[in-house]
Amino acid sequence: MSSSDDRALVLNPILCDGRGLCQEAAPDLIELDEWGYPLMRGGGLRIRLSRDDEQQARAAVQSCPKLALHMER
């Protein structure tokens, strides 16, 4: 049986144009670097999601006009 605990939010930096909409949608998961480009909380391009994180992760994916974010297992 699957659960939300084995999901992750992943950023493709090649597609990202750095406007930061995802960080506004998911401030607990995404931070912006000094140039305004997103990184996952703690650094890096991928973050594992707890059940509590999933709503913000979905909001971040939906907020991105460049389709640079997705969720995966």
Binding-site ranges for ligand SF4 (CB under 6 A):
11, 16-22, 38, 63-64, 66, 68-69
The helix or strand, by DSSP H or E, that contains position 55, with its residue range, turns out to be: helix 54-63
CB of 21 or CB of 47, closer to ligand SF4: 21
Q: How far is the CB of 55 from ligand SF4 (least distance, A)?
A: 17
Q: How far is the CB of 52 from ligand SF4 (least distance, A)?
A: 21
Report d(CA 32, CA 64) in Å as an integer. 14
CB of 4 or CB of 70, closer to ligand SF4: 70
Token duo for residue 34 = 């000094």
Report d(CA 54, CA 71) in Å as an integer. 9
The helix or strand, by DSSP H or E, that contains position 17, with its residue range, turns out to be: none
CB of 1 or CB of 14, closer to ligand SF4: 14
